[in-house]
Structure 1
Amino acid sequence: MAKLEQLLAKTEINLEQLDSLIQPFKTSNSDSQYLLEVVESLIRNHKRLVKQSSSTTNIKLMVRDVEFSLRQGALLHNYLSDSNQHFLENMRSCDQAITLLTDLEKKYNKILHLLKRDKGKEESNSLQPKPSTAWTTQGILSDELLYPLFQQTLYNVRNIALKTECLPPKVFISYAWPLPEHKNENWVKYYIKQLVEDLKSAGVMVYLDEADSRYGYPLQDHINRIKESDTVILIGTPSLKAKYETPANFHMVNDEFTEIIHQSKRLKIIPLLLEGTYESSFPRAITRNRSIEDWSNGDYINHFMLLLQHLYRLPNHLYEPIWRPVLKAYIKNNEEYLLLQTQSTVINSTTLKQSNNLPRWGLFNFLASTPVTEEQAPYLNYTG
């Protein structure tokens, strides 16, 4: 708690400067008005946070509010300034505002990382996830040296995407909360939440049905989220298949899945296996017609890197150099583990469906600047 208070004390924001920098956006344009609302929300939440005398739980909620405002503000600020330059009379103020928001976001990321580590300690005595290769390799990135480097890589990806005029991808993640009899899936929800945070840090707009659908949430609004998305990531677990096959008890899962299949000609559907086997974790409509990515075997950073490139569709010559520093550091810190991961062979989508334990291509292949092929990443095959 003392370390958290020290970080908050150092996280300063010049409210007058920020207010003056956003003045050029005060137009009748709806996007501009939304940006103003986001920045005003940021200012309110920041004031509450630095003056807080609340419990740790309330601090966490306020930090999350600030983080959301920062990311939305940075994305909107960049979008408006790049695509609608006639709204701005002074582009220098735009650059200054972007710098201010980005720097403040990095400071808050340190606070969030500290809170996440504290939360992990608190939960270790209650719902401790079952150890798994996927869970372990994702956790490696929380290392004190790797985490800042990984976050900087995600910032760089977002900036490159903005400079190349790539609009932020809209991703819907479909995840079924584990059934009581599937306690071995408890770790998956923590894994997915971290995946969502990493995607958002890279500028991806993510909607997680498990997190964002509350009791009484209108089903049609939930379905509309799918229609508004560019990509659906379907998380494969035994609970998903069990809920899909018992529509009387879990009609929302069934309706959501039906809508995803109905939209499949327009949507990019990426099934990810995290627990169980292909047959036990996905309905037949997926195992029969879709290539499935096996993330259960670990190697989170490599999987995430390829997924993010697929979402943004960034060319290799721009994308690969961004990842080299963090990949080299990752390999150096985890050489013994990664030697097992690099004993990989290129596999096609047909073979991938038939086995639950096939090796993935390794990080060293990427460092050698080998282009990613459709056979290496089966979900790249699917175009609808």
Structure 2
Amino acid sequence: MTKREISIPNVFISYSWTTPEHEEWVLELASRLMEENGVSVTLDKWDLVEGHDTYKFMESMVNSPDIDKVLIICDRGYMEKANAGRGGVGTEAAIISPEVYTHNQQEKFIPIVSERDSQGGTYIPTFIKTRKYIDLSSEETYEKGFEELLRNLYNRPLYRKPSLGSAPAFLFEDAPIRYKTTNVIKQLRDAIV
């Protein structure tokens, strides 16, 4: 497959302005996806400018057919705001929830775990709690999770389901198959009895 044949994934990153450090973490993730990995990222820091309606912006990103994936960055702040329906995160959660609940097989919304609690639990909001997530929460899991994310975005999974083969022909033959050992086994069984 040549580079020209590869479809460029378009993603929107949904996150909470929890802390300046968390915002920087998100910005670094978005930059790495764009600059180093060829993923087109829509991010409020780059694409939402003065005069834009913030709620319309979020709604258009979540519902746009041009956006292939919505990366939901899950930290404590996002979970709390989403579960309480507060702020921009609460609005996004209200927009995303019907999509998640009505489409069991949906793959557009990907929870990205960026932080864990002191017991190692995830901060995933209720509306996506049962969805499979990608773990970028620590130095130990970040690179593996980042590769998993790229494979998802480019639809190039690490493990691919093999092609379905044909049923064995001998199952459909009229005469039963007799193996050379069949008679020997019968004689041994008779001798034991």
For normalisation by structure 1, the TM-score amounts to: 0.35
The question of whether the paired residues in 2 share the 8 Å contact of 1:175 and 1:208 is answered with no
Report the CA distance between 1:280 and its aligned residue. Answer: 6.4
**Identity level (%):** 27
**Which contiguous aligned blocks of 4+ residues in structure 1 show a shift greater than 4 angstroms?**
none
1:298 paired residue among 139, 142, 149 = 139
Report the CA distance between 1:235 and its aligned residue. Answer: 0.6
**Alignment CA distance shift 1:177-1:198 (3 Å):** same
**Alignment CA distance shift 1:373-1:303 (3 Å):** farther
CA distance in 1, matches of 2:147, 2:135: 14
**Alignment CA distance shift 1:186-1:372 (3 Å):** farther
Determine which structure has the larger helix proportion and give its number: 1
Higher radius of gyration, 1 or 2 = 2
CA distance in 2, matches of 1:279, 1:209: 28
**Alignment CA distance shift 1:221-1:284 (3 Å):** closer
**Alignment CA distance shift 1:195-1:283 (3 Å):** same
Letter in 2 for 1:291: K
The question of whether the paired residues in 2 share the 8 Å contact of 1:171 and 1:232 is answered with yes
1:233 paired residue among 62, 67, 71 = 71
CA distance in 1, matches of 2:146, 2:2: 16
Aligned partner of 1:285 in structure 2 is 127
- Matched residue pairs, number? 150
CA distance in 2, matches of 1:210, 1:239: 18
Aligned partner of 2:47 in structure 1 is 212
SS of the residue 1:305 aligns to: helix
The question of whether the paired residues in 1 share the 8 Å contact of 2:74 and 2:125 is answered with no
CA distance in 2, matches of 1:281, 1:214: 29
SS of the residue 2:138 aligns to: coil
The question of whether the paired residues in 1 share the 8 Å contact of 2:13 and 2:73 is answered with yes
CA distance in 2, matches of 1:263, 1:161: 34
Report the CA distance between 1:210 and its aligned residue. Answer: 5.1
- 1:154-193 correspondence runs (5 A): 162-163=3-4, 165-178=5-18, 185-193=19-27
Consecutive unaligned residues in structure 2, runs of 5 or more: 162-193
SS of the residue 2:116 aligns to: coil
SS of the residue 1:291 aligns to: coil
Letter in 1 for 2:74: G
- 1:318-357 correspondence runs (5 A): none
Consecutive unaligned residues in structure 1, runs of 5 or more: 1-159, 179-184, 316-370, 375-384
CA distance in 2, matches of 1:174, 1:199: 15
Report the CA distance between 1:282 and its aligned residue. Answer: 2.1
The question of whether the paired residues in 2 share the 8 Å contact of 1:213 and 1:222 is answered with no
**Alignment CA distance shift 1:207-1:161 (3 Å):** farther
For normalisation by structure 2, the TM-score amounts to: 0.65
State the structure with bigger RCO (CA 8 A, min sep 6), 1 or 2.
2
Report the CA distance between 1:212 and its aligned residue. Answer: 3.4
Determine which structure has the larger strand proportion and give its number: 2
**Alignment CA distance shift 1:226-1:168 (3 Å):** same
SS of the residue 2:139 aligns to: coil
Aligned partner of 1:314 in structure 2 is 156
CA distance in 2, matches of 1:308, 1:169: 10
CA distance in 1, matches of 2:154, 2:22: 25
Report the CA distance between 1:279 and its aligned residue. Answer: 6.0
- 1:108-147 correspondence runs (5 A): none
Aligned partner of 1:221 in structure 2 is 57
SS of the residue 1:275 aligns to: coil
1:273 paired residue among 113, 116, 139 = 113
**Alignment CA distance shift 1:161-1:220 (3 Å):** farther
The question of whether the paired residues in 1 share the 8 Å contact of 2:134 and 2:149 is answered with no
Letter in 1 for 2:56: Q
Letter in 1 for 2:25: Y
The question of whether the paired residues in 2 share the 8 Å contact of 1:196 and 1:206 is answered with yes
